[in-house]
Amino acid sequence: MKLKSLIRHETFLAVLLVVVLIVLSFQSDRFFTIDNLLNQGRLMTEIGLIAIAMTFVIATGGIDLSVGSILGLTAILTGVFWQNVGLPLPVAATAAIAAGTFAGFVNGVIITRFRVPPLIATLATLALYRGLAEGISQARSVRGYPEWFYVLGQKDVLGVPTQLWILLFAAVVASVILAYTTWGRTVYAVGSNEVASRFSGLSVEKTKLALYTASGFAAAVAAVIFVSRVSTTRSDMGTGIELDAITAVVLGGTSIFGGRGTIIGTIIGLCLIQALKNGLSLAGIKGDGTIMLIGAVLILAILASNLFERSGTRT
Amino acid sequence: MTTTVEATARSRTAPQRPGFFKRLFAEYGQEIVVLAAIVMLFAIVTMVNPRFISANNLTTIFSGNAYIAVAAIGMAMVIVTGNIDVSVGALIGVLATISGSLAVAGYPIWFAWLAPVVVGMAVNAIIGILVAYARIPSIVVTLGALSILRGGLISVTGGTWITDLPPDYLIAQKQIFGLPVPLVFMVVLTLLAAFWMRYTAFGRSLYAIGGNAEAALATGIPIARRTVAVFVIHGAFAGLATILFATQLQVIQSTVPPNLELTVITAAVIGGVSILGGSGTVIGSTLATILFATIGSALIFVNVSAYWLRAVIGLLILATVLADMLRRRGRGA
């Protein structure tokens, strides 16, 4: 029954995506072109990477609001390590990603060791990490990165935007881990019933610690891609991206209470949001109208899937 | 979340009541911690720079942030019932635009003040119904509402500011009995709400819902209706906060401070409202708002670059949360 309702939500969402794609391609003949679609893939990579990690986090019943700030902090550190400290750019970027991953690890420690609810813990570090980014940068931006660095965010590999390969790779690896490994099962178990999981001998704390660390890592990688895509570093990068990522995850059918959710759902949710953003702007509707529509789609999709599920449970 | 239920039960039924201060600390521990932090901060910064305690600066600290405290009152109630609202920042932006437009368009001033309260209640009634009757988790509903309101705000205003506000409209810049209006609003609303939550059956039922929804239902509390009601009340407070926010300057910007909703949530939580529901007071949330404002002002007075402000606040939030967790654990919770 549970599997059935899962399939239902994602099927429902996939159908919705197809309908949206068809409608949008009638609205503008520039929408359904390979170039445009690939470019949209480029634009959704950063949110995508974060949303994939967020799927795991939310599936355990947690949440990570600090990812946008980790993104900003990592971006600033990349610039500072390279320009002010004078490290070679690859080393600087790696060091910054390590720092961002560590920021995620700190979240995990606060949540597992001190038993602070994830919402509060990451709300606090949201302020802290963004504050560190602002303090370190002193509102100065870093520009003038070497040309080769832009391959990551602005160029193609085999005709597909470089970062889209990274997103695809991450999505495939994450789906396999979540769906087919013992560890993935542990994630669902922790989300469904944490106490029972602990009594079953599952290492609940270790799993959570690993997930928040991974979430920091995903945000950090997204940061370097972001910097490469926009050719500059600013401390306000990634502000609000946590809400976009959570929207994609929840739209994709992951239960905010944990225990349920798939990577494919998240990816469909992402595509749906990006298609709406792009298609509507091509059709001449301003970005603000699109944001409104995404909000409405989020509420309606969850409402619809709730109704499906309830009718399923009754019969 | 059980601690407060136990604590209140204890304070009512225990045969020998523990001493006054012991009870005070058991019930208002977090509030006392925050208050102590404010007092200490004032003492230290005033020693470094006596101008910190000047009337001018105090007005900035208390009046400039009163709207956050007022919004945090409603948020505290919502969180006490075990729900959350991430859309309040965008809502305040929308309400401010509505209110300002009405004032500029020549409607009576009282109407321009009333409108945000009524619209705020209406919007949150919809949110409350979706949470209580359609059973969509509040974080999902309000995430959606956040997008809708934020998008709506930009598409209506197009990013332009509202100027030429009538002088009578700017209530936040006026004084009652020699005190700034926002300060009076903040104190009166906080006390009213605290009293209501502590001593009325309706107010106490919010703790019951957040503490143990099943038990609350079993005792006959109409959870769904109360949930809608609490969101509507929260909407009214958002409307009142809007009045203070919209009238504090000569113009109304089409944007609200970024992450306003998170600031409001943080104020409620640092003030002692458990995010798991069932405990916390609005006195705490107001004190926490004052603490943030004091920190912000203090940094300027001790010559720390304003760019470090958020890092310091973040660190303090973290320290408060960790201290609270250790305190709770110490009590065996």
Q: What share of chain B is helix, strand, coil (3-state, %, to 5)?
A: 75, 0, 20
Q: Could you read off the pLDDT of A205-224 as tens digits, one per residue?
A: 898 999 999 999 999 999 99
Per-residue H/E/C for B287-314: HHHHHHHHHHHHHHHCCCCHHHHHHHHH
Give bridge partners of residue A161 from the DSSP assignment.
A156
Sign of CA dihedral A176, A105, A94, A126: positive
Q: Nearest CA to A110 among A99, A101, A97, A119?
A: A119
Higher pLDDT, B324 or B172: B172
Indicate whether B229 belongs to any domain.
Answer: yes
**Which structure tokens are listed for A307?**
């109704």
Answer whether B276 sits within 8 Å of A117, measured CB to CB. Answer: yes
Q: Is residue B3 part of a domain?
A: no
pLDDT tens sequence across A214-257: 999 999 999 999 998 888 888 888 887 888 888 899 888 888 87
Say whether B314 and A114 touch across the interface (CB within 8 A).
Answer: no
Question: Residue B93 CA to chain centroid, in angstroms?
Answer: 16
Average pLDDT over residues A254-279: 87
Looking at the DSSP bridge assignments, the partners of residue A264 are none
As a whole number, mean pLDDT of residues B195-199 equals 90
Higher pLDDT, B205 or B305: B205
Sign of CA dihedral A282, A287, A289, A294: positive
Cα–Cα distance for residue pair A257/A270, rounded to 1 Å = 20
CATH topology of domain A2-306: ABC transporter involved in vitamin B12 uptake, BtuC (1.10.3470)
Residue B7: which H helix or E strand, with range? helix B2-13
- Across the interface, of B152, B259, B308, the residue whose CB is closest to A292 is B152
Other C-beta atoms within 10 Å of B36: how many? Answer: 11
Amino acid making up residue B330 = G
Q: How far apart are CA A287 and CA A76, in angstroms?
A: 27
Express each pLDDT in B258-269 by its tens digit: 678 878 888 888
Decide if B146 touches A, using CB distance below 8 A.
yes
CB contact (8 A) between residue B308 and residue A306: no
Report the C-alpha gap between A170 and A164 in whole angstroms: 10
The pTM is what? 0.80
> In this structure, is residue B127 part of a structural domain?
yes
Pair A300, A48: CB distance under 8 Å = no
Encoded tokens for B134: 């359609």
Residue A314 has what pLDDT? 36
Show the CA angle centred on residue A124, arms to residues A130 and A263, nearest 5°.
Answer: 80
In terms of DSSP H, where are the helices of A80-181?
A: 89-113, 118-137, 151-154, 162-180
Confidence at A163, pLDDT banded by 50, 70, 90 = confident
| Most confident segment among A3-7, A25-29, A31-35, A181-185 | A181-185
Burial B53-88 (b: 16+ CB within 10 A, else e): eeeebbeebbbbbbbbbbbbbbbbbbbbbbbbbbbb
Question: Across chain B, what does the average pLDDT equal?
Answer: 83
State whether A296 and B148 contact (CB < 8 Å). Answer: yes
Residue B16 belongs to a domain: no
What beta strand segments (E) does B132-186 contain?
Answer: 175-176, 179-180
Q: Which residue has the higher pLDDT, A186 or B125?
A: B125
A120, A286, A290: residue with CB nearest B275: A120
Cα B276 to Cα B4, B207, B332, distances in angstroms:
12, 11, 17
Residue pLDDT, tens place only, B32-71: 888 888 888 888 888 888 888 888 888 888 888 899 999 9
Is residue B8 in some structural domain? Answer: no
Residue B213 is predicted with a pLDDT of 82
Specify if B130 maps to a domain: yes
State how far the Cα of A115 lies from the Cα of B322, in Å rounded to an integer: 9
* B17 inside domain: no
The mean per-residue pLDDT over the stretch A109-123 comes to: 87
Name every chain A residue with its beta carbon within 8 A of the beta carbon of B151: 287-295
The pLDDT, as a whole number, for residue B125 is 96
| Candidates B143, B157, B316, partner chain A, best to mutate (most A CBs within 10 A) | B143
**Exposed/middle/buried for residue B303 (C-beta within 10 Å: 0-12, 13-18, 19+):** exposed
Task: State which H helix or E strand residue B48 sits in.
Answer: helix B20-48
Residue A151 main-chain phi, psi, to 5 deg: -55, -40
Which B residues 148-167 touch A at CB under 8 Å?
Answer: 148-155
Domain around B84: 34-41+50-330
pLDDT digits (tens, 9 = 90+) for B132-176: 998 888 888 998 898 889 888 877 777 778 878 888 888 888 888
Q: Which of B184, B194, B195, B287 is nearest to B240 (CA)?
A: B184
Residues of B with Cβ-Cβ distance to A121 under 8 angstroms: 321
Q: Domains in chain B: how many in total?
A: 1
Q: Considering chain A, what percentage of its residues have pLDDT values greater than 70?
A: 94
In angstroms, the CA A200 to CA A184 distance is 15
pLDDT at position A309, please?
Answer: 62
Is residue A1 very low, low, confident or very high in pLDDT (cuts 50, 70, 90)?
very low
pLDDT of residue B303: 75
- Cα A79 from chain centroid (whole Å): 23
Give Cβ neighbours of residue B149 (< 8 Å, ≥ 6 apart): A295, B87, B90, B91, B93, B94, B123
Which of B151, B266, B276 is facing A295, going by the closest CB pair? B151
Closest residue in chain A to residue B270, using alpha carbons only = A120
Q: Residue B37, SS3?
A: helix
Radius of gyration of chain A (CA): 20
Residue B22 lies in a domain: no
- Show the tokens assigned to B261: 């909703």
What does the mean pLDDT of chain A come to?
Answer: 85
Q: Is A137 on the interface with B (CB under 8 A)?
A: yes
Residue of A nearest to B144 (CA): A295
Q: Across-strand partners of B179?
A: B176
What is the distance in angstroms between the Cα of A110 and the nearest Cα belonging to chain B?
Answer: 8
**Which residues on adjacent β-strands are paired with residue A233?**
A142
pLDDT at B9: 47
Assign residue B67 the CATH number of its domain: 1.10.3470
d(CA A103, CA A219): 10
pLDDT score for A315: 32
Confidence of residue A296 (pLDDT cuts 50, 70, 90): confident
Q: What is the pLDDT of residue A2?
A: 54
**pLDDT, mean of residues B17-36:** 75
